[in-house]
Amino acid sequence: MIKVAGIPFDANSSFLKGSSYAPRRIRLMDIDGSANAFAENGLEVLNGVTYNDMGDINFANTNPAAAYETIHSFVATQLMPDDKLLCLGGDHSISFPIIAAYAKQYPDLHILHIDAHADLYDNFDDNPYSHASPFARIMEAGLAQSLTQVGIRTLNTHQREQAKRFGVHITAMKDFTPACIDAIKGPLYVSLDLDVLDPAFAPGVSHHEPGGLSTRQLLQLLQNIKVPVVGADIVEYNPTRDVHNMTAMVAYKLLKELIAIMV
Amino acid sequence: MIKVAGIPFDANSSFLKGSSYAPRRIRLMDIDGSANAFAENGLEVLNGVTYNDMGDINFANTNPAAAYETIHSFVATQLMPDDKLLCLGGDHSISFPIIAAYAKQYPDLHILHIDAHADLYDNFDDNPYSHASPFARIMEAGLAQSLTQVGIRTLNTHQREQAKRFGVHITAMKDFTPACIDAIKGPLYVSLDLDVLDPAFAPGVSHHEPGGLSTRQLLQLLQNIKVPVVGADIVEYNPTRDVHNMTAMVAYKLLKELIAIMV
Amino acid sequence: MIKVAGIPFDANSSFLKGSSYAPRRIRLMDIDGSANAFAENGLEVLNGVTYNDMGDINFANTNPAAAYETIHSFVATQLMPDDKLLCLGGDHSISFPIIAAYAKQYPDLHILHIDAHADLYDNFDDNPYSHASPFARIMEAGLAQSLTQVGIRTLNTHQREQAKRFGVHITAMKDFTPACIDAIKGPLYVSLDLDVLDPAFAPGVSHHEPGGLSTRQLLQLLQNIKVPVVGADIVEYNPTRDVHNMTAMVAYKLLKELIAIMV
Amino acid sequence: MIKVAGIPFDANSSFLKGSSYAPRRIRLMDIDGSANAFAENGLEVLNGVTYNDMGDINFANTNPAAAYETIHSFVATQLMPDDKLLCLGGDHSISFPIIAAYAKQYPDLHILHIDAHADLYDNFDDNPYSHASPFARIMEAGLAQSLTQVGIRTLNTHQREQAKRFGVHITAMKDFTPACIDAIKGPLYVSLDLDVLDPAFAPGVSHHEPGGLSTRQLLQLLQNIKVPVVGADIVEYNPTRDVHNMTAMVAYKLLKELIAIMV
Amino acid sequence: MIKVAGIPFDANSSFLKGSSYAPRRIRLMDIDGSANAFAENGLEVLNGVTYNDMGDINFANTNPAAAYETIHSFVATQLMPDDKLLCLGGDHSISFPIIAAYAKQYPDLHILHIDAHADLYDNFDDNPYSHASPFARIMEAGLAQSLTQVGIRTLNTHQREQAKRFGVHITAMKDFTPACIDAIKGPLYVSLDLDVLDPAFAPGVSHHEPGGLSTRQLLQLLQNIKVPVVGADIVEYNPTRDVHNMTAMVAYKLLKELIAIMV
Amino acid sequence: MIKVAGIPFDANSSFLKGSSYAPRRIRLMDIDGSANAFAENGLEVLNGVTYNDMGDINFANTNPAAAYETIHSFVATQLMPDDKLLCLGGDHSISFPIIAAYAKQYPDLHILHIDAHADLYDNFDDNPYSHASPFARIMEAGLAQSLTQVGIRTLNTHQREQAKRFGVHITAMKDFTPACIDAIKGPLYVSLDLDVLDPAFAPGVSHHEPGGLSTRQLLQLLQNIKVPVVGADIVEYNPTRDVHNMTAMVAYKLLKELIAIMV
């Protein structure tokens, strides 16, 4: 069974808050956004049929360590042997506790991380849970067999060194081709930061980084995945920056397409 | 002679109204939008020289059946043997009466329908004239020798069956290449729904469907048409959703380019 | 040494004013825009290290002839033998005095002009300094060995004749390929009008001309330049039309990338 | 018990659609909008405590007559002897069936109608259920002992005559004072069209009519009601026109204040 | 007969251009803006009945002196003995030539100037026709018996001295009361700069000056004029800054109300 | 000497970040916003003449306790016997360390707090420095002889009790009259949260709370202060929510007016 859950936590964001409001806005598109429920491969994606919506997690406060525990424990509980989880963030810090829980069930887990930023900072503003650091934490803890990053276009010297240290496979945005993930292995976890898209396609994100993927290029990338996808997240949608819900519609479409490849 | 006419009717829209305000806004771009009057092939596109602007049709009320008659009768009257008509919608429901009038003069008419949606619903909200159904009506009535759809990315099971029933040639957006219309035949009618464009390029439409064509891809598609184009429409521009008249400028440019291939 | 200077002059604009506010907004992105200081080739682009920011020129009034002198004299003074200048406009009229000063130091100067418009008008509104005419003035004065224009999509008959008269190499937008500048020669001056980008990527410009480059295509074009770049400008950013500073971020990124190829 | 219900119907709108998306957006403000749950008189307004949220009515299609029946029957069923209903539209056409149901329980009902428009058209576009006509229908049917309108600023000759015919007490916007409703009687039904507010305060409505109330003036008007309020509606919020959810927040605040005077 | 004319000239603007696009946008509201044709006193304001729309003046170029002549000569020609003219700008520089023509027919003309700015600069950027100076020019030339300014909130020392020099009656915004024009005399010309309104009510102006009139306060001011109004202008509406046509609707409403007091 | 300083700290914000970008945007209005430098009482407000701009404080990280120390120590150092400080936030948490430093020099300090919210929470999200709590901290520490709050419209039961506990004089927004501060004493510190304004006038704030002051009402309140003002802050301007810099202009105008009453 595929389960969808909202993880409305944005207190680890370095620049703007707002992604905690994302899950409810994405779900609104189901009814309010003029879209229908079909993925492009013809699958009808319905709550209660194709997937179960578990609603949103509650957070007692904004403490990062406590949030880690809340998310980790939720995922560990939900992730029954035949289950797959698709989480709607929240900021990118949520991927660390999710993948920590996944790693226990999937010791051979591989990660596809689609993003404008590598999120590999060793230390960002003294917050180990910062949304700038989840993949540093994940690789330090040995939670993945491999980490493949696609769409990156903001590498600085420090993160370049971190990538080398952790053996990350990076396809920078300037070298992007649809074939860049042909060698990826499964079981695969897909972590999708919406700012991998050019701000023209997804203005509703906290970090505008020009020169990104088009929505179509992203859809093709996802539709070309050939290995089993066992989990995924869609993070960093920020409704407070959106224009006419344009980005909410993109997130809703990606939700349908990810479910279509997870089934 | 090429004639341009505005058909400001949006009462068959299922989601939002507003496209009835499109024709006047598109014409404003002629003076207010910083563009010049030249198409990309070097043709100067001038009212009174290259084409005649017939103004907007008036509608007595919002009754769908009456609107069908008003539009059909207007087109039948205007479409003299050497004339070609380019209509500015309004919503997509206007294409049914236009093409019904065309079919009488062009019994061998072929249709190129460029859109995010197939508009092939047998029954949408009990309104046979719904903007979700014009191409079902057109194909039921046998008004075209062939129907080619490009850019579609919202097919559900029902419309997939309708497409099979009517023998529609569909190039889904995920399979788009510039060569997809190489086999098309003429005389050709081009029905252009602006939501075929990605919402990044055309935010001013009622239905945002991410993952669409870029404006350049659409221009290339049109510029590659090799068969005679005898009529066209540009529909579903919705000024109430536009940002800084960005979409009005796209519509105005497409108007010039369509005239340049109709001449 | 690379010097960056703001030239906040927009009184030669034909349609809208506002580009005089561009330099300060682009610099704000350094701190306020969530970006880091690295170019995509890994170079860290820092004021005081990689380049020196000379601030903004002051203009006593809006007289076009006086502005020409102010800009020309500033550039002539700043352009020491080992210096390279990157100017932030202002409207496109600033390129004429800048290049006039460059031509004295670089008698063999070549120009790459990236723009939606050819800016070759012989006479626009009786203002010889109009932002519609700088490249007519430059070529009349014999200031460049060659002029290569990329991205043009608004050629009218007059400008087509002007291009022929001046021997301009034009790659129209409809014929764009990344290889279109393979034959270009140096020393090269790059004049970059942000409206070469599709309005989807750069809404904050005075002239929306649909069907333009994506930001990624523009970055690739710049990153593929193989000859020495001795000067550059980024013009026509208009903050009064921007949405969420999206275009300011594009300009800031292009500033970093241009510096990375000028070093 | 106070019951809140969403009535997401906008097919009787003459100009724009979109108010059917209002109820869900207003409820979102409860969590997403930075407000707290207290009315200005100090009452905490909580679902399950102060009121019960009955969710949204479903409509099988957009037929006006069927919608009338659906709404009427819902209200008739919900309106138990000690209940009070606050309905969130939807367009203003919903007030006719709601008040028709109220009239059966409250034969001595008085109505306070706060709006920029009198909504008294005898016939608008041949649709008796048009959102331009509910108060003509209500008065024709004798459903109210008195009708008091406040904020009106668009009276034409026809509606002026209708007002005289039905004995409507109108305080035009140009004559507005806080004391204008001092003589009103109860039991009172308050029908609140958000376009009574100036568009500066409530941009998210279908009909912008400048020169309206400030939000504070409207709050004062409501807080000064001295007679028992037995029912209310808040209509014509149109999320597709809103800016940063500003109008959703206004509607949410008015919801709290109306509940505070209905308790 | 009341005549309405558009004067689309904005080349004398010091900050932003765009007001030249105002007349066509204001007229669009007649059909596209959901308003009706009635003024608040019950008068129906119809083109061809209540007034005659003369269309827009054409300008050969943007030369200020030539524009002065064009406007002056147009007004002198149109202003037959029983005629009254209402001009839609354009920037505020148009009031100088209009009033110069009026002064010939009305040697006893009084002026009511409603604005955030006094527009009394002796010399602004060396342009005697600047939109910062029309009332300096008018008073120097002795074109009015009296000048009354209302809403001013940007007086600097220079303009304070100019006001004293010319004997201008100023009611600063901070001292505004509805009674401030009780002593005004006729025949009266009303020059209305939309930036007298607070930017909350009229965002679509070039100069945002907070702390202004509400739309209702402005309507009351106009409706309280007791002397004959023989001419008027509405200037500085800038569509390029408008939000959802909110300011176009304000201008359209003011047009109706001004006509209602000129009849 | 009046000193102006930017305090770009927003890590204590509970809902949205962004106010740390405020000081630079407010200063931009000096040049970019079409305003002049005069306050409404005729005083010219010039950096270097009327006041000295000290620039922005730097923060090493986002730790709340460290930020308290940084701000407190900065103010303690700057506040020489004859100096007055006007600080531009940042969120409202900055007022606690500023006033703590003021209290040492002014043991008889009184506070005028103008805000939509009382900011009196004993504990908000376990952060004693939260922007929801500064006035609880200030009163607990006995830093003021009196606290007067104006414009409040979100009192809940807890804050009502806190206000009683601390003896706060509250004029709720619903009871606002210009005379509400007639009894206030000096020396006075004015803490001005821009969300006291209705969101129509100041959309660029993190917390939209409808029903607030108009900009003119706020200006009148400030202009009516009769006691010596020895310090002030303007907080919670959030550029990421602003529309066309409308709120930046309001903040810039309030800066001038506050300086005019501090001189």
Minimal Cβ distance to C160: which of B42, B249, B250: B42
pLDDT range class, residue F14, cuts 50, 70, 90: confident
| Average pLDDT, integer, range F136-163 | 98
Residue E13: closest CA among C127, B32, C13: C13
Residue of D nearest to E204 (CA): D200
Residue of A nearest to C222 (CA): A174
Looking at CATH, the fold of the domain delimited by E2-262 is given as: Arginase; Chain A (3.40.800)
Distance CA F172, CA D216 (A): 12
Residue F71: closest CA among F45, F49, F100: F100
**Residue B69 near residue B7, CB atoms below 8 Å:** no
| pLDDT tens readout for residues C204-220 | 999 999 999 999 999 99
Given this model, what pLDDT does residue B87 score?
98
| pLDDT tens readout for residues A48-84 | 999 999 999 999 889 999 999 999 999 999 999 989 9
All residues of chain D having their beta carbon less than 8 Å from the beta carbon of residue F124 are none
pLDDT at C261 over 90: yes
Minimal Cβ distance to A203: which of C35, C38, C244: C244
**Residue D190 near residue D225, CB atoms below 8 Å:** yes
H helices of B86-195, in order, are 95-105, 134-140, 157-166
Please tell me whether D83 is known to bind a ligand: no
B220 burial type by CB count under 10 A (0-12 exposed, 13-18 middle, 19+ buried): middle
Minimal Cβ distance to E36: which of D156, D203, D243: D156
- Largest Cα–Cα distance in chain D? 47
All residues of chain F having their beta carbon less than 8 Å from the beta carbon of residue E157 are 38, 42, 44
pLDDT at D54 over 90: yes
The length of chain E is: 263
Residue of B nearest to E19 (CA): B32
The length of chain B is: 263
- Residues of chain D above pLDDT 70, percent: 100
Q: Which residues of E are annotated as a binding site?
A: 92, 115, 117, 119, 193, 195
Residues 6+ apart with CB under 8 A from D210: D198, D199, E201, E215, E246, E249, E250, E253
Q: How far does the CA of residue E18 sit from the closest CA of chain C (Å)?
A: 6
Given this model, what pLDDT does residue A255 score?
98
Question: Residue A242 is which amino acid?
Answer: D
Helix E22-32 to helix B22-32 angle, to the nearest 10 degrees? Answer: 180
CB–CB contact F208 D34 (8 Å): yes
**Residue E222 near residue E258, CB atoms below 8 Å:** yes
Tokens in use for F96?
A: 């606690």
All residues of chain D having their beta carbon less than 8 Å from the beta carbon of residue F214 are 214
Average pLDDT of the residues of chain E: 96
Tokens in use for F44?
A: 């010219």
Residue of A nearest to B241 (CA): A244
Distance CA E223, CA F233 (A): 41
Distance CA D234, CA D236 (A): 7
Tell me the residues of C at the B interface, defined by beta carbons under 8 Å apart.
Answer: 14-16, 153-157, 160, 172-174, 198-200, 203, 206-212, 214, 241, 243
H helices of chain F, in order, are 22-32, 64-78, 95-105, 134-140, 157-166, 215-223, 246-262
pLDDT range class, residue C34, cuts 50, 70, 90: confident
Give the CA distances from residue D260 to residues D29, D45, D46, D223, in Å, rounded to whole numbers and listed in that order. 18, 8, 11, 9
| Average pLDDT, integer, range D8-31 | 92
CB–CB contact A249 B173 (8 Å): no
Which residues of chain B are under the pLDDT cut of 70?
A: none
Beta bridge partners of B88: B6, B234
| pLDDT tens readout for residues E74-86 | 999 999 998 999 9
Residue A32: closest CA among D240, D61, B119: D240
Average pLDDT of the residues of chain C: 96
Q: Where are the beta strands (DSSP E) in D129-239?
A: 146-152, 169-172, 188-193, 229-235
All residues of chain B having their beta carbon less than 8 Å from the beta carbon of residue E244 are 240
DSSP D81: T
Question: Residue E11 is which amino acid?
Answer: A
CB–CB contact C200 B246 (8 Å): yes
| pLDDT tens readout for residues E152-161 | 999 999 999 9
Residue F232: closest CA among F189, F186, F188: F189
Name the strand (E) or helix (H) holding F150: strand F146-152
> Helix (H, G, I), strand (E, B), or coil: what is residue E251?
helix
| Average pLDDT, integer, range E24-37 | 88
| pLDDT tens readout for residues F23-77 | 999 999 987 778 899 999 999 999 999 999 999 999 988 999 999 999 999 999 9
Residue of E nearest to B21 (CA): E32
| Of A9-18, A167-176, E111-120, the least confident | A9-18
ipTM field: 0.95
pLDDT at E33 over 80: no
Q: Which of A240, A241, A243 to mutate to test the interface with F (most CBs of F within 10 A)?
A: A240
Please tell me whether A115 is known to bind a ligand: yes
| Average pLDDT, integer, range A106-111 | 97
| Contacting subunits of C (3+ beta carbon pairs below 8 A) | A, B, E, F
**Residue A238 near residue A204, CB atoms below 8 Å:** yes
Given this model, what pLDDT does residue E132 score?
97
CB–CB contact E13 C13 (8 Å): no
Q: Which of E17, E31, E34, E244 to mutate to test the interface with B (most CBs of B within 10 A)?
A: E31
Distance CA B131, CA D9 (A): 19
pLDDT at F249 over 90: yes
| Of C78-82, C209-213, F49-53, F198-202, the least confident | C78-82
pLDDT at C14 over 90: no
Tokens in use for C127?
A: 């203002």
Name the strand (E) or helix (H) holding E4: strand E2-7
Strands E2-7 and E51-56 come out as parallel
Beta bridge partners of E152: E172
Distance CA C84, CA C228 (A): 11
Given this model, what pLDDT does residue E244 score?
85
Strands D110-114 and D169-172 come out as unpaired
Q: Which residue has the higher pLDDT, E252 or F1?
A: E252
| Average pLDDT, integer, range E217-222 | 98
CB–CB contact B207 A243 (8 Å): no
All residues of chain E having their beta carbon less than 8 Å from the beta carbon of residue F215 are 198, 200, 210-212
CB–CB contact B16 D17 (8 Å): yes
Gyration radius of chain C over CA positions: 17
Please tell me whether B244 is known to bind a ligand: no
Half-sphere exposure of D16 (CA within 13 A, CB side): 26
- Residues of chain C above pLDDT 90, percent: 92
| pLDDT tens readout for residues D67-106 | 999 999 999 999 999 899 999 999 999 999 999 999 999 9
Distance CA F245, CA F237 (A): 11
pLDDT at C145 over 90: yes
Average pLDDT of the residues of chain B: 96
Where in chain A are the domains?
A: 2-262
Residue of C nearest to F28 (CA): C24
> Helix (H, G, I), strand (E, B), or coil: what is residue D142?
coil
| pLDDT tens readout for residues F104-130 | 999 999 999 999 999 999 999 999 999
| pLDDT tens readout for residues D201-240 | 999 999 999 999 999 999 999 999 999 999 999 999 999 9
Tokens in use for C144?
A: 């460049």
Q: How many helices (H) and strands (E) does chain E have?
A: 7, 8
